[in-house]
Each structure stands twice: as structure tokens, then as C-alpha cells.
Amino acid sequence: MEQLIEQLKHQIIEALNFEDMTPADIDTDAPLFGEGLGLDSIDALELIMLMDREYGIKLADPKAGKAIFQSVRTMAEYIQANRTK
């Protein structure tokens, strides 16, 4: 799990172009949207694509993403349970 979280942080930084940010800068349990990382709606769509590309998870309903994208930890838990690659 810890390995997946670390890998996911790298992928988020890469996909969302967080210049100068390292995995250590992202709090595993902090909210991704609003406070925390302050992601917006385009970032959410990019995370949906990341889940598909890296883990073979297709999220058809963007609203379902809300619970999954609460934090890096909730994302990692969802990936572990649903990944197809």
C-alpha cells in the first residue's frame, strides 16, 4: 500500500504538472480538492484519465469520483481494490 501511495503521488505530480513538488510535499490524507492541493474540475478529469491509463480503471460517472478523490489514500485504496493492470 505504501509503495502504491508513493507511486501515485509521483503520477499525480507528473499528470497535473506540479512543478517543484515532490511526493513528500503531498499529505497522504489531506483533501485533494478545495483546501489541500486545491485541484479544480479539469484536474479531476485528468485524474479520471490517470486511473484509466495507469490502472485500467474506467470511471464513467464523474460524480463517483468525489468519494474516490478525497485524498491520495482513498484513491490508492480504490485502485488496490479495482485495478485491472
Partner 1 sequence: MVYCIGHSIISPLGEGSQANFEAVQAGRSGLKIYSDRFADVEPFCASLFDTPQDFVELCVRSAQQSVVSLQHSAFSLASKDTIFILSTTKGDNLNLLRPAQQIAAHFGNPNPPIVVSNACTSGVCAQITAMRLLEAGLYQHAVVVGCDLQTRFIVSGFQSFKALSPEPCLPFSEERKGLNLGEAAATIIYSRERLSVSGERCWALEAGAIHNDANHLSAPSRTGEGAYQCLMDVLQGVKKEEIGLIGVHGTATLYNDAMEQTALERAGLQEIPRSVLKPYFGHTMGAAGVLETILCAMAVEKGYVIKMLSGFGGVNAAIRLKTEC
Partner 2 sequence: MLKTEHYIVITPRSVVLNGKAIEVNETGSKMLVELYRRYVGDYPKFFKMDTLCRLGFIAAEILIKESGRSPDAVILANRSASIKNDTDYLATISEGNYYPSPALFVYTLPNIVTGEIAIRQAIQGETAFYILDQEEQLEPIILSTLHSKRSTVLAGWCECSKENEFYAKIQLYGTID
Instruction: Identify the CA nearest to 28 among candidates 1, 48, 61, 62.
Output: 1
With CB under 5 to 8 Å by kind, the binding choice for 6 among partner 2, partner 1, none is: none
The one among 10, 14, 27, 45 contacting partner 2 by CB under 8 A: 45
The one among 22, 25, 27, 62 contacting partner 1 by CB under 8 A: 62
Contacts 24+ apart (CB under 8 A), 56-63: 56/83, 56/84, 56/85, 57/82, 57/83, 57/84
Site map (CB under 8 A) of partner 2, residues 4-43, x = contact: -----------xxxxx----------------------xx
Instruction: Identify the CA nearest to 14 among candidates 68, 56, 53, 50.
Output: 50
From the list 6-14, 19-27, 43-51, 76-84, the region that binds partner 1 by CB under 8 A is: 43-51
